[in-house]
Structure 1
């Protein structure tokens, strides 16, 4: 029974979440392509041999394939699913009118950007619905407890202190403090505090510790050493307007935090071990499944945002790489040469594969069994 529960949580739930996120992404490409008169030959969830499928009236083959770790939309006139090159055969005027490669550069760019845009829209709408149905936890920025031996105790923070600002950024919720602490790892924190009717400035330097993350994975994070006052937390249910506003704000926070974190990894101030691949994603899905349906929904939203962001990176083979080529085409008035595009896609493929290998290496190293193997060999 324990094996079946683990298989359900860590495999089935992971594949369901991934399928939903990939379907949303590819549906964005599909809908905008059809809107622009492009014929879509294949809409596939997964790669490799087809398990089952059907044809619709527009001639699209909807299929579910053997390897459920992604998906693609193959458009008429493309040599492959990446839409990198045309198939090269002569076309009639009627066929050109339905070919992706023969559309205006603006139309092609709209079709490409529609995938990541669909992931963002899905995340925003999902968050808004959660805030309407389940409510949004809002915690006052009041210190409930200062933990012994931490940076907060050393700096002189006390229970009952209200944090007004951190490093010049206004704080409205305790969640704002948590976000700033996680991102501001390059310098000490300048805290503006309200205490006993007055205001004072306190400087604190969070310490890096390893602990279990929200969805069960071990992570190295900066810790200030304070907990919120449990009595100051309330769940606020929003109406449609405020729910959408809060969803947009949360999305902006997630996107900004991701870019800041990536920049810190590149600069070397943040540990690159935080990058995770499919194993870590599956672990997160399993932990979310054990926490309940709302956690699975939130994890799906988070994964949708990450997929949208990653696909916008200016790397050939990703949507962002296509957009870079289209930008050059719009500026030059003609596409880049075939050789330039070919080399670009080769470099892009190498970068993506290298990133996947590195992320999978991080996944494996983070597994408990890795320490057992390492100790046995040492």
Structure 2
């Protein structure tokens, strides 16, 4: 399949990131309004304002030049650490009552948490729609066939066995097996099976299958060589949809956590970490495959956005939530010096990470290989 052009890729990237950033910030904004906090600005992007308007509440809605993020600036939230300033203290009691810092810690916590939660809600709504139309896969985790010479055969699995656990994670349906195994290529994992009413503990190493998609992207996929008797799709009643959608979202988050742990522990290459350039590349490619694939891709990015923002890193939502949790336990805010130091450190970490993933992205796009060829 032909690679999409640069213009198409850029437009597709904005079509993915723009709405998701808007939803994220809208979560902050709506919960802030619910608690009576005035918003001074609602920005999609950073830097110089390109276009904007001021609503009747005095909120400046704008689109900025660098569309790699966004923010809601609440009244009273005058620095990255959300610490009270002399300017805030100089406000009248009436003005101060409508500011972010005047609110109790539990309200500030909910306002900040609303951004990532909105990203997860978007994913849940999409999955609800998918399950409403096509049903939920619930294939029994019973093995019907074992591929000769496969990791499953080497471990002693035979047709009729029911897999109940893989890599310490419970298995309720056959689809769970592939979700767990696919990110553990070449990694020895424990497997529990039931055979004739008896539980058996095994160990196997999923083989590494290298797959290429229609655009030439290569992926390492773990497989153990088993298959079910057939695929079971269960139609869901309306009241079952939220639970199924939440389970799907939680499973994806768990896969993200497992992947990060693998990278940190050296079991997965850091070259697999991607940033904005990688997202843009895949956005353009997926956009050529149709609207359904594009929406599912947006859903995955939304879950990523929600998950990353919950990491306890200062400057991210998770960093703010951590300080609010400490404040709730101590019954007083963290000292301004400690807060300032933490947020400066958080900025350094985020900047270093962005540089690293950008270098990775450029390498995955083949830039370093082409430069080496020119130099050589």
Q: What interval of TM-score do these two structures reach, taking the shorter chain for normalisation?
A: 0.7 to 0.9
Deviations 1:323-372 (A, max 9, x none): 12222222333222221111111100011111112222221222245434
Once the two structures are TM-superposed, the CA of residue 270 in structure 1 deviates from its matched residue by 2.5
What residue number does 1:47 align with? 46
1:47, 1:70 within 8 Å by CA — same for their partners in 2? Answer: yes
Once the two structures are TM-superposed, the CA of residue 318 in structure 1 deviates from its matched residue by 0.7
| 1:31-70 correspondence to structure 2 within 5 Å | 31-70=30-69
Partners of 1:53 and 1:210 lie apart in 2 by: 48
Query: What SS is found at the alignment partner of 1:46?
Result: strand
Partners of 1:9 and 1:164 lie apart in 2 by: 44
| 1:200-349 correspondence to structure 2 within 5 Å | 203-212=203-212, 217-221=217-221, 223-226=222-225, 228=227, 232-233=230-231, 235-349=233-347
Once the two structures are TM-superposed, the CA of residue 174 in structure 1 deviates from its matched residue by 3.4
Please say if 1:96 is aligned against 2:96: yes
Structure 1, 50-59 or 180-189: larger mean CA deviation: 180-189
Structure 1, 165-174 or 44-53: larger mean CA deviation: 165-174
Q: 1:101 to 1:360 in 2, by over 3 A?
A: same
What residue number does 2:107 align with? 107
Q: 1:209 to 1:377 in 2, by over 3 A?
A: farther
Aligned CA RMSD, in angstroms, stands at 3.2
Q: 1:171 to 1:240 in 2, by over 3 A?
A: same
Q: 1:198 to 1:315 in 2, by over 3 A?
A: closer
Q: 1:260 to 1:213 in 2, by over 3 A?
A: farther
| TM-score, normalisation: structure 1 | 0.85
2:146, 2:227 within 8 Å by CA — same for their partners in 1? Answer: no
Deviations 1:208-243 (A, max 9, x none): 45434799743444x2253756x8235544332222
Query: What SS is found at the alignment partner of 2:17?
Result: helix
2:81, 2:340 within 8 Å by CA — same for their partners in 1? Answer: no
Query: What SS is found at the alignment partner of 1:291?
Result: coil
Please say if 1:192 is aligned against 2:193: yes
Please say if 1:130 is aligned against 2:111: no
Deviations 1:164-185 (A, max 9, x none): 3344755443321112213556
The alignment of Structure 1 onto Structure 2 pairs a total of residues equal to 371
Q: 1:63 to 1:219 in 2, by over 3 A?
A: same
Q: 1:199 to 1:291 in 2, by over 3 A?
A: farther
Q: 1:285 to 1:146 in 2, by over 3 A?
A: farther
Q: 1:366 to 1:153 in 2, by over 3 A?
A: farther
- Any gaps of 5 or more consecutive residues in structure 1? none
Q: 1:364 to 1:345 in 2, by over 3 A?
A: same
Once the two structures are TM-superposed, the CA of residue 57 in structure 1 deviates from its matched residue by 1.8
Once the two structures are TM-superposed, the CA of residue 115 in structure 1 deviates from its matched residue by 0.9
Partners of 1:144 and 1:356 lie apart in 2 by: 46
Which of these residues, 362, 365, 374, is aligned with residue 364 of structure 1?
Answer: 362
Query: What SS is found at the alignment partner of 1:316?
Result: coil
What residue number does 2:177 align with? 177
Query: What SS is found at the alignment partner of 1:94?
Result: helix
Partners of 1:225 and 1:363 lie apart in 2 by: 31
Once the two structures are TM-superposed, the CA of residue 79 in structure 1 deviates from its matched residue by 2.4
2:122, 2:302 within 8 Å by CA — same for their partners in 1? Answer: yes
Partners of 2:284 and 2:50 lie apart in 1 by: 25
Partners of 2:44 and 2:66 lie apart in 1 by: 9
Once the two structures are TM-superposed, the CA of residue 130 in structure 1 deviates from its matched residue by 1.8
- Any gaps of 5 or more consecutive residues in structure 2? none
Query: What SS is found at the alignment partner of 1:315?
Result: coil
Partners of 1:316 and 1:199 lie apart in 2 by: 46
Partners of 2:160 and 2:60 lie apart in 1 by: 61
